[in-house]
């Protein structure tokens, strides 16, 4: 799925090993109960795990993808004490920091069911994973973050990976020299438009609201670029294609 962005070596190996799910399940089922189990491996989950582990509490993290959406972020310039870094490096440093406190990181694992302590025989919370494994913990912390927002319009699903993408840093080079549209005028959308402007022929940013919602410094940067256009008060209605790839985006002018 393009929206998941770049893959780590760990992810590649897991995909190549057809028996990895069964192997993981056996290892996970053998684990003793945790005092605290964090579900989610983004910055919030990593921080929660560090705080718990520093208290001498047996702590684990279950993450579908350690680092979360940070892995698909190119420039990070708003994290105090770090003037500038990139997403994968940030995630790598975070993982090293978390492991320093002996936190058990169970990566590439997706939770399918949580059973409360009041519903189990031993009074522990039971966390079931998609591979069938079950983990137990006295306490869980939900830190599942967010996912890519979809437009939910005709053509979006049909042309996913064929012109519809959710990670500009991962897929931007595929659109070199082409005209592209970015949906959304928040920080993520404006940052994507700025990054893409250095690769593609022209970027049109389409925003539903009457004005952009991104930080002013980002708006100023976007407006300074010669190959960008901003359309506000516009409702995206359809992704148009020729059967093999995206050719256009339809939108409705909300003002008229």
pLDDT along the chain (256 residues), means of 10: 50 65 92 99 97 98 92 79 90 97 98 98 98 98 89 95 87 93 97 97 98 98 98 98 97 95
Contacts of 83 (CB under 8 A, 6+ apart): 77
pLDDT at 69 (0 to 100) = 82
Predicted pLDDT at 11: 64
- Residue 178: half-sphere exposure toward Cβ, Cα within 13 Å: 14
pLDDT of residue 111: 98
The residue ranges of every structural domain in the chain are 2-142, 168-253
pLDDT of residue 5: 45
CB 108 within 8 A of CB 65: yes
* pLDDT of amino acid 13: 66
Which residues are registered as beta bridge partners of 235? 252
Structure tokens at 82: 């770090």
pLDDT value, residue 18:
59
Is pTM beyond 0.75? Reply is no
Fold for domain 168-253? Answer: FAD/NAD(P)-binding domain (3.50.50)
Per-residue confidence (pLDDT) for residue 96, from 0 to 100: 98
Q: Is 202 helix (H, G, I), strand (E, B) or coil?
A: strand
**What span, in angstroms and rounded, lies between the C-alpha atoms of 233 and 181?**
15
Query: Comparing C-alpha atoms, which of 182, 157, 106, 200 is closest to residue 1?
Result: 157
Instruction: Among 3.50.50.60, 3.40.50.300, 3.30.565.10, 1.20.120.1200, name the CATH number for the domain at 2-142.
Output: 3.50.50.60
Longest CA span, the chain: 65
């Amino acid at each position: 799925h393009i929206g998941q962005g770049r893959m780590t070596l760990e992810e590649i190996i897991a995909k190549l090993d057809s028996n990895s799910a069964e192997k993981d399940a056996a290892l996970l089922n053998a684990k003793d109960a945790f005092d605290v189990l964090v579900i989610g491996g983004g910055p919030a989950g990593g921080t929660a795990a560090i705080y718990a582990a520093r208290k001498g509490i047996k702590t684990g993290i279950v993450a579908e993808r350690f680092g979360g959406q940070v892995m698909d972020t190119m420039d990070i310039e708003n994290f105090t004490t770090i003037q500038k870094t990139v997403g994968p490096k940030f995630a790598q440093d975070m993982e090293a920091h978390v492991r320093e406190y002996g936190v058990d990181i169970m990566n590439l694992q997706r939770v399918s069911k949580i059973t409360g302590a009041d519903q189990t025989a031993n009074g522990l919370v039971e966390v079931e994973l998609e591979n069938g494994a079950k983990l137990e913990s006295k306490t869980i912390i939900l830190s599942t973050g967010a996912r890519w927002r979809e437009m939910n319009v005709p053509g979006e699903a049909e042309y996913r990976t064929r012109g519809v993408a959710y990670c500009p840093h991962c897929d931007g080079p595929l659109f070199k020299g082409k005209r592209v549209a970015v949906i959304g005028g928040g920080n993520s959308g404006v940052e994507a438009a700025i990054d893409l402007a250095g690769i593609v022929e022209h970027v049109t940013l389409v925003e539903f609201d009457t004005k952009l919602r991104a930080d002013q410094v980002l708006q100023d940067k976007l407006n300074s670029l010669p190959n960008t256009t901003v359309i506000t008060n516009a409702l995206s209605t359809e992704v148009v294609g020729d059967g093999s790839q995206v050719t256009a985006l339809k939108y409705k002018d909300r003002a008229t």
